[in-house]
Amino acid sequence: MTGNKVFDCSIIEVSKISSEAGNLTVVENGVNIPFDVKRIYYLYNVPSGEARGGHAHYKLEQYIIAASGGFDVILDDGKNKKRFTLNRPNLALHILPGLWRELENYSSGSITMVLASEVYDEKDYIINYDKYKIYANK
């Protein structure tokens, strides 16, 4: 395991520029994000009661942002779990490699934006929790 624990992850306040015309949040490689973004995707229209995630990554880092609405992210390092609530678009949860993640409690109209450090690679995913527990407890 990489040694990352749920307590190593935190919510980061990214920029928020306010004006009478509204707010603007900027995320820039090398400025307010600790990795180069190689992929951006977003989740939306998640039905009430549904969960997303349910996997870990060997090397991928992520910033997860509630672009609209809110939801919870539960991180698991094989020994500890920690719940984060995201509901402001200028806050990002920095998830380090090697942690199991689940997203739940979506509010109506929520949009989850994910900034990822790597392009999609099926081999980087751990999708079986029992296999994850073995990996995490090495």
Longest dimension (CA), the chain: 53
Helix (H, G, I), strand (E, B) or coil at 136: helix
Closest CA to 69 of 86, 52, 50: 86
Count other C-beta atoms under 10 Å from residue 77's C-beta: 24
**Other CB atoms closer than 10 Å to residue 25's CB: what's the count?**
17
Do the Cβ atoms of 103 and 72 come closer than 8 Å?
Answer: yes
Q: Which residues pair with 102 in a beta bridge?
A: 53, 74
Out of 52, 55, 82, 94, which one is annotated catalytic? 55
57 is catalytic: no
Q: State the catalytic residues.
A: 55
